[in-house]
Structure 1
Amino acid sequence: MTKPSHTPSNQPDPAPFFTVHTALILLAAAFIGAVVGGLTFLSGGPVAGAVLAGLIGFGTSVPVLRSLIR
């Protein structure tokens, strides 16, 4: 006998993969990283330097945004 493939109606829905708080922080950090990388590239920096600056901007803005947005 096989088990049913759907979840029974008496069990709660599974928790979401990301909370709204996490999604907002990652989206804002990605925007900040893109701006930093774009401005670095437009200022005459090499593409690799712009990518590195964008990644650093993303990485450093995540903990700051986490503490600011609650």
Structure 2
Amino acid sequence: MTTPEPRASQHPERRHSERRHPEARQPEARHPGRRRPPEQPPEPPLLTLHAAVVLVAAVLVGFTAGGLSHLGGVPAALAVLAGLGAAGGAVPVLRGLIR
């Protein structure tokens, strides 16, 4: 009577070789003719360069207008409103100017 051979998962040498060679478990290594799925294109940026430049320039315009208003003696709350109005008004102008 012969003893049954151990299964592959129970064989200590095989488990050790799988740990040393992880590519042995990958399907591409066993089936080199198979194609990999196509890679996904990268995600588009949250803001384009044009939009970022326009928004940064509008913030600078708003800070400048608000700061100058405050230095001119206008109360702080009204200077903030002046800066916000200037920044909001600058966006369409800058969008048309910066291309």
Q: 1:44 to 1:15 in 2, by over 3 A?
A: same
* Cα distance in 2, alignment partners of residues 9 and 43 from structure 1: 61
Percent of pairs identical after alignment? 52
The structure with more radius of gyration: 2
* Cα distance in 1, alignment partners of residues 76 and 43 from structure 2: 42
Segments of structure 2 that go 5 or more residues without pairing to the other structure are 1-36
Question: How big is the alpha-carbon RMSD for the aligned residues of Structure 1 and Structure 2?
Answer: 1.2
Aligned residues: 63
- 1:1-70 matches, within 5 Å, as 10-70=39-99
User: What amino acid does structure 2 have at the position aligned with 1:15?
Assistant: P
Segments of structure 1 that go 5 or more residues without pairing to the other structure are 1-7
How much does 1:9 deviate?
Answer: 6.7
Q: TM-score, normalised by structure 2?
A: 0.61
Q: TM-score, normalised by structure 1?
A: 0.86
Aligned to 1:56, the other structure's residue is in SS state helix
* Cα distance in 1, alignment partners of residues 82 and 47 from structure 2: 26
User: What amino acid does structure 1 have at the position aligned with 2:75?
Assistant: P
